[in-house]
Amino acid sequence: MAKFIFITGGVVSSVGKGIVAASLGKILKGRGISVSIQKLDPYLNVDPGTMSPYQHGEVFVTKDGMETDLDLGHYERFIDTDLTSASCVTTGQVVSSVLQKERKGDFLGGTIQLIPHITNEIQQKIREAAEKSDAQVMVVEVGGTVGDIEGLPFLEAIRQMRKEGDTLYVHVTLLPYLSTTGELKTKPTQHSVNELRRIGIQPDIVALRSDFPVSSEVKEKVALFANVDSKAVIPLLTTPTIYEVPLTLEKEGVGDFIAQKLDLPPNEANLGYWRDMVERMKAPKPKVHIAIVGKYTELHDAYISLKEALKHAALCHNLEADIIWGSSDDLLGESNILDCVQGIVVPGGFGTRGVEGMILAARYAREKDVPYLGICLGMQAMVIEYGRKILKTEEVNSTEFSPHTPYPVVSLLEEQKGVKNKGGTMRLGSYPCRLVKGTRAFEAYGSEMTYERHRHRFEFNNDFRFLFEKEGLIMSGLSPDGELTEIVELRDHPFMVGTQFHPEFRSRPASPHPLFMSFIHKAKNTPCKVESDAYISGQR
C-alpha cells in the first residue's frame, strides 16, 4: 500500500506547489524510496489541450499521449521518471467518469451527489495512480488555492483519506512583504490554514514562500497559529534556480520529518550529484545567446520545457543559456533581434497568427548560417520557407494556414480528413523514429532508433519529398515504415534541423536531450552579428 503526501496552496495561485511536489519527490527518491507524483486540477476542461497558452501556460504531453498541466514537466525533470495519463486528473475527467457510470446504471438508481460519488471517484483515481506506478509514496498536488469553490471536492476527497492512515499534508503559502513597515506578514497564512482546518484538514507541514529571509520569530508565530511543530514550518526563499529547492527542503530537515511521520526507512538522501549540478548552475559561466521566436513569448511559462531544455544542454557545455524572447509577430516589423543571437529556436503552436514571422526566422537562419532548431510548427515553418525558395513562389504553405494553396508542403493525412473532433486528428504521445545514418540527427543521437513525444495535427506532405531531398532538405528521421517525416535537416548548413515531435519534453537536468546538446554545441561557436549586451538585455 502506498503512502500519500498531499500538497495544497494558499493565499495566492502560482505559489510554487508544483516545484515543492517535485522537490519532495526528489529528496524521497534520493533516500531510495520509489515515488510517483499526481496533479489534481479543479477545472472543468477534460484536459488543457484546447486552452490558450495564455490561460494555462505550456501543455505538457506524457509518453502515453495525455495533454497535461506544465507541472508534470517539473515532476518528470526532478524525479527523472516518465509519468502517464494517471498522473493528471481534472474535474472534467472525474465528472465525465461518474456520469458515464450513472448512465450505465452502476449506481442502481441512486441519487448522484458530490459526496460521496464525486469524492469517491477522485479517491479512486488517486489510488489507481499509486497502483499503476507501484510507488511507495504518492505525492499528490491539489491545483488552485484553498478557498476556491471549484477545489472543494478535491479537498474533501483528500480529507477523507486521512482516516486510512499513512497520509501527510503540506500547505504552501505566501508571506507578503510590506515595504512601508519592512516586515513579512503572517496573517494571510493564518487565514489560509484556518480555512484548510475548517474543511477538516490539519496540515503537518507549512511551507512559507518568501522573497525575504524568514526569522525564527515568524516561524514560531506561524507554528503557533497553524498548530504545527516549529520544525514543520519551512521557509522557502526564492532561489536563483528552481533545482535548488530540493536541497533547501533537505537542509531544513523535511526529509527526516516525512520519514518519521510516514514510517519510512531513515536513510540519508543521496543528493551529491544534484548538489554539484546546482553549484555549476549558479557559478558564473560564458553565455550563449539563444532566441526563442514564438507566438506566446509574452508568457514564458508557455515554453517552460523548452527553456529548461536549453538550460540543461548549455550547462553540459559549461555555458549559461541566455534566452532572448522574440514574438514572431514583431519580426514582421523593424525588429533586428536575430542579429544579436547565436542560435534560433522556433517552437510549436497552433493557428495562423505569427506564422509568417516564424517563416522569416527560418529564412534568416538559412541565409545567415545561424544554427536553427525548429520544433513541431517550427519544423513546418522551415519546410514552408525552403519550399518557397526552391519553387520560387510565396504560395507554398500548409493547408492549416492556406487551405487552397497549390503547394501544400504540409497537410493532413488522408485518414485525418473529415474527422470533426480535433483531438481525433492529433498525433499525441510517444512514437518511434528511425534515424538515417550519415545525418546530423543520427550523429546527435548516436543510435538508429529513438522514441519522441508528439502533439500536432499536420504532417509533411510526401508528394514533395523527392523534390525537397533533391534540393538539399534531407528527411533524416522517419517513422519505421518510412511514411511519416519526423526530422528534416538542411544539407549545406552548420545546423538547421526541424523535428515534428517535441524533444524538450524528454530533457532532464542530468541528461539533456541530444538534439539540444548538438544545437548548443554549434551555437556556442557562432558569432553574434551585433555585440551589444544592452540591446540583448532589452529583449528579455
Out of 67, 74, 504, 513, pick the active-site residue.
Answer: 504
Q: What is the DSSP string of 516-535?
A: HHHHHHHHTTSPPSS--HHH
Inter-residue contact 53 to 299 (CB < 8 Å)? yes
Question: Is residue 498 within 8 Å of 452, Cβ to Cβ?
Answer: no
Query: Which position among 76, 376, 400, 513 bears the catalytic label?
Result: 376
Q: Are strands 60-61 and 496-499 parallel, antiparallel or unpaired?
A: unpaired
**Across-strand partners of 294?**
327
Give yes or no: 183 in active site. no
Verify whether residue 300 is a known catalytic residue.
no
Query: What is the Cα–Cα distance from 94 to 90, expressed in whole angstroms?
Result: 6
Q: Which helix (H) or strand (E) holds 95?
A: helix 91-104
In what helix (H) or strand (E) does residue 449 lie, and over which residues does it extend?
A: strand 449-456
Pairing of strands 407-411, 459-460: antiparallel
Q: Please, are residues 474 and 275 in contact by the beta-carbon 8 Å criterion?
A: no
Specify whether the CB–CB gap between 161 and 200 falls below 8 A.
no
Note whether 176 and 127 are within 8 A (CB): no
Q: Would you say 146 and 192 are in contact if contact means Cβ atoms under 8 Å apart?
A: yes
CB distance 474 to 488 below 8 Å? yes
Catalytic residue among 74, 171, 493, 502: 502
CB 447 within 8 A of CB 436: no
Query: Is 502 marked active-site?
Result: yes
Helix (H/G/I), strand (E/B), else coil: 535: helix
DSSP state of 381: H
User: Which residue shows C-alpha cell 544554427?
Assistant: 371
HSE-up (13 A, CA, CB side) for residue 50 = 10
First to last CA, the chain: 48
> Residue 355: which H helix or E strand, with range?
helix 355-368
Cell of 377: 510548427
Enumerate the active-site residues. Answer: 376, 502, 504
